[in-house]
Amino acid sequence: MIGAAIAGLARLIAGGSVQWAERPSSVPRVYFANHTSHLDFVLLWSYLPRELRARTRPVAARDYWESSRLRRYLAGEVFRALLIDRAGPDARSAVDRMAQCLSDGDSLILFPEGTRGTGEEIAPFKSGLFHLSQASPDIELVPVAIENLNRILPKGEFLPVPMVSRVVFGPSLRLVDGESKDDFLARTRAALEAIRGSA
């Protein structure tokens, strides 16, 4: 109920055109997207068919989402976010928890750049996506390009400026046997870059 209201609000403010290269599927998968705004995952999530929304969890930073009661409520009850520690020794356990979510039948939303950018360049990917793919090699990875959110709610702003956005769900890919970490991260980043540029 609250989830549907938030999804509706996100689309009223930041909605626009959405494209799917493949049909939405309820098989657990990892959506990985470029990151420029706090609204990124809300908008991506709002575009998932309703039944998939309930089974898709954003991977988010614990320090941000536990910093106020409202955020903690939204992260915990509405988005069912998988909160991870950005700075900390247990990167390993974060990957394990993500892999556990996938094997429990949930999908994940991941921002492999690790932090929000300005919207011009996609930053080099952090290694989490690679380690997760090693831990769950059968999982499909879906690149999702999100455009204009850096203008709608840029870093450091509290109120969004409503604008039309564009969200493209690209063709899925997965880890190839024997692929090195650098090759894999470059390939996944290129896949995201390619759908971002496509008109």
Partner 1 sequence: MDRELLWLMAGVVGVLVLSTLVGQVLRLRARSARSRETVANLNARIAAWWAMAATFAVASLTGGIGSIVLFALLSFLALREFITLSPTGRADHRALAWSFFVVTPIQYVLVGIEWYGLFSILIPVYVFLLLATRLVLSGDTDRFLERTATIQWGLMACVYCVSYAPALLLLDIEGYDSGSGKLLLFLVLVVQASDVFQYTWGKLIGRWRIAPSVSPNKTWEGFVGGIACATLLGAGLWWATPFNPLEAAGMALLIALAGFAGGLVMSAIKRDRGVKDFGTLLPGHGGVLDRIDSLLFAAPLFFHVTRFFF
- List the structure tokens of 196: 């971002």
Q: How many residues bind partner 1 (CB under 8 A)?
A: 13
The 3-state DSSP class for residue 90 equals coil
Minimum distance of partner 1 from residue 61's CB (angstroms): 23
Nearer to partner 1, 151 or 181 (CB): 151
The reply to whether 159 sits near partner 1 by the rule CB under 8 A is: yes
* Given 2, 21, 164, 176, the residue binding partner 1 (CB under 8 A): 164
What gap in Å lies between CA 94 and CA 97, rounded to an integer? 5
Rounded to 10°, the helix 181-197/128-135 angle is 110
Amino acid at 161: V
Q: Could you tell me which residues come within 8 angstroms of residue 71 by beta carbon, excluding any fewer than 6 positions away?
A: 64, 65
Does position 154 bind partner 1 by CB under 8 A? yes
Cβ proximity to partner 1, 47 vs 130, nearer residue: 47
Residues that bind partner 1 (CB under 8 A): 13, 16-17, 148, 151, 154, 157, 159-164
